[in-house]
Amino acid sequence: MQRWPRKRRLRSQEQALVPTSIRCRTVTTPTLECLIDRFILFLATEKGLSTAYQLSVRQSLDALQLWIIRKNLPPSDLGTEELSQFLTQRKIDGLAASSLRIITVHLKIFFRWLAAKNILPMDPAEPLLAPRTEKNLPDTIHQNLCASLIQNIDITQFLGSRDRAILELFYSSGLRLSELCDAKLENLDLDEKFIRVTGKGNKTRIVPLGEIAKNAMHHYLTNERPNLVTKRTSSPIFLSIRGGALSPDRVREIVKERAQRAGIEQNLYPHLLRHSFATHLLEGGADLRVIQEMLGHADISTTQIYTHVDQKRLKSIHKSFHPRG
């Protein structure tokens, strides 16, 4: 395996998403930096992966390159033991098991690609074992608090109708934050009570609306959205006061502001309403496969975490009311 120079060029976030430079294509022996660039280009053009994923991979590989420089270690000496030491250092730095697992995956796909391109004689990352992630149960909010949160919003006040529709949609349909912000008018059918959203992996799914959420959406679209429209407004369902689409950060603020006004001390955020949507469906007897489809989970194992929440609730009831609890 050829030796790679240790020189490291700092990148801005914009540069990080611009793959292989002309220099990388003309150098006979590519540097590690150039190989990272070429790999990101591969992810973008041949795999069609998202910009966010490309940036995440680059951050992991840049961290490896920086570690190599600090250790004064020739890249040609990288083996399984050295990669394990790198992951150990990241753990010492305070990274959670879930983050270490992601970095391990990034190392594996990068070095597998290098070996497949015959840039390396073998894949040193293949024996690496990803750390097990802790199964943290998702936070939820009680049904009564959900009702209090939403009903506390005065729809006769400015933006009240919009904010109530947002919270109703989160809780009624279990949308992700990005899905709600990207929701378009042309994908909403109030007569049939469904909304079409595009989730992770650009997968489109149809999600039903409850009757109460339908009414809240109708009130907002009829009475408040027209007042927010400007000449530059396109088709996002939820608009800011300037007529543009609401940003994820602003929606998070709206949820927190409405919780404070309702006197709710629990830390509320959009994904908590998604968790509550799934948990309350399961408690009501909904089939796990149906919940999986509505949430847009690719794997049923992701949805199964909500069964642990329900089991926890059942154990609590048993302990409180059974004579042998």
Residue 167: what pLDDT? 96
Position 202 scores a pLDDT of 80
Rounded to the nearest 5°, which phi and psi values hold at 194? Answer: -150, 160
> What is the SS3 string spanning the chain?
CCCCCCCCCCCCHHHHCCCCCHHHHHCCCCCHHHHHHHHHHHHHHCCCCCHHHHHHHHHHHHHHHHHHHHCCCCHHHCCHHHHHHHHHHHHHCCCCHHHHHHHHHHHHHHHHHHHHCCCCCCCCCCCCCCCCCCCCCCCCCCHHHHHHHHHCCCCCCCCHHHHHHHHHHHHHHCCCHHHHHHCEHHHEECCCCEEEEECHHHCEEEEECCHHHHHHHHHHHHHCHHHHCCCCCCCECCECCCCCECCHHHHHHHHHHHHHHCCCCCCCCHHHHHHHHHHHHHHCCCCHHHHHHHHCCCCHHHHCHHHHHHHHHHHHHHHHHCCCC
Name the residue with tokens 């729809």: 155
**Cβ-Cβ contacts under 8 Å for 238 (sequence gap 6 or more):** 162, 165, 166, 180, 181, 183, 245, 246, 251
Check if the beta carbon of residue 90 is closer than 8 Å to that of residue 63.
yes
Residue pLDDT, tens place only, 85-130? 999 999 999 888 888 999 999 999 999 999 999 988 889 999 998 7
Question: Active-site residue among 11, 193, 271, 313?
Answer: 271
> Is 90 designated active site?
no
The pLDDT value recorded for residue 8 is 40
Decide if 142 is catalytic.
no
Active-site annotation holder among 112, 184, 256, 297: 297
* Active-site residue, selected from the candidate residues 90, 274, 275, 280: 274
Q: Where are the domains of the chain?
A: 13-116, 143-319
Distances (CA, A) of 275 to 31, 218, 260: 45, 25, 20
Q: Give pLDDT, residue 300.
A: 72
Say whether 318 is catalytic: no
* 306 noted as active-site residue: yes
What pLDDT score was predicted for residue 18? 45
Contact in structure between 175 and 241 (CB atoms under 8 Å) = no
3: left (phi over 0), alpha (psi -120 to 50) or beta: beta
Q: Are 82 and 89 in contact (CB under 8 A)?
A: no
**pLDDT recorded at residue 67:** 93
Active-site residue flag, 274: yes
Considering the candidates 71, 200, 315, 318, report the single residue annotated as catalytic: 200
Amino acid 50: pLDDT = 84
Q: What is the mean pLDDT of each run of 10 residues along the chain (325 residues)?
A: 43 44 47 90 90 92 93 82 92 88 94 91 89 66 90 96 96 92 95 90 86 96 96 95 95 96 91 88 81 80 66 55 52
How confident is the model at residue 247, as a pLDDT? 94
Burial class (CB in 10 A: 0-12, 13-18, 19+), 83: buried
Residues 6+ apart with CB under 8 A from 234: 245
Query: Annotated catalytic residue: which of 164, 176, 219, 258?
Result: 176
Of the candidates 248, 239, 243, 241, the one whose C-alpha atom is nearest the C-alpha of residue 175 is 248
- The domain made up of 143-319 has a fold known as hpI Integrase; Chain A (1.10.443)
- pLDDT 10s digits, 277-313: 888 888 888 888 888 888 888 777 667 766 665 555 5
Query: What span, in angstroms and rounded, lies between the C-alpha atoms of 59 and 102?
Result: 11
CA dihedral (161, 166, 168, 172) in degrees, to 10, reads 150
Is the CATH number 1.10.150 carried by domain 13-116?
yes
